[in-house]
Amino acid sequence: MLVTGIIRSPHGLEGFVKIESISGETVHFDGLADVLVRPSDGPPVRLELEAVRANARPPLVKFRGVDSPEAAKRFAGAEILVSRDNACPLDADEFYVSDLCQCMLVHNDVSVGLITGVLEGGESDLLEVTLSDGAVPGIPGGEKRFVPFRKEFVGEVDMKAKTVALMHRWILE
């Protein structure tokens, strides 16, 4: 399952919620019958989509059985998950965040760390990396570093090998 959106807040009186698309694309919501909604304070629940206004700004979704702003409010902040088949299609050189996580960051074919997350940055996303032992002299393994996910710093991404090439080791210092 892939996180495809975040529920932000109720909208109107009928139980619609505002959503933020992780990819920025919204048309894939139109074809969905149901989704898995994962609140921050409880187990995921499967909800049927009753209506989708993908072209609204922000996009709006109405779940069956959620018929008031009060009922919709309990899902604020929850993640919307879909199967890979129902996620927004990728263009060349695009990756799902969940696929990048747990990839090894390598420099000159030597592992320097494990990608454990992807954060939104100013100009680009940032790869959260947990350093390997000996990756940077004088810095213990397990330390966290952030690498801009830009072609100046990141080379080939090999999803089959689960590796991401680091262009410059100095960025980890």
pLDDT tens, position by position, 12-69 = 999 999 999 887 777 778 888 899 999 988 899 999 999 988 888 898 999 999 999 9
pLDDT score for 86: 80
pLDDT recorded at residue 103:
95
pLDDT tens, position by position, 116-147: 999 887 788 899 999 999 888 888 889 999 99
Q: Where in the chain is the domain with CATH 2.40.30.60?
A: 2-86
All CATH 2.30.30.240 domain ranges of the chain, comma separated, are 97-172
Specify the pLDDT at position 82.
87
pLDDT at 1 exceeding the cut of 90: no
Q: How far apart are CA 18 and CA 146, in angstroms?
A: 30
* Homologous superfamily, domain 97-172: PRC-barrel domain (2.30.30.240)
Max Cα-Cα span within the chain: 59
Report angle CA 123, 59, 117 to the nearest 5 degrees: 40
User: Quick check: 38 and 79 in contact, CB under 8 A?
Assistant: yes
**What does the block give as tokens for 84?**
């890979």
Q: Identity (one letter) of the amino acid at 123?
A: E
How far is it, in rounded angstroms, from Cα 154 to Cα 105? 9
Distance CA 118, CA 54 (A): 25
Q: Is the pLDDT of residue 78 over 90?
A: yes
pLDDT score at 87: 79
2-86: CATH topology: Elongation Factor Tu (Ef-tu); domain 3 (2.40.30)
How many C-beta neighbours within 10 Å does residue 173 have? 10
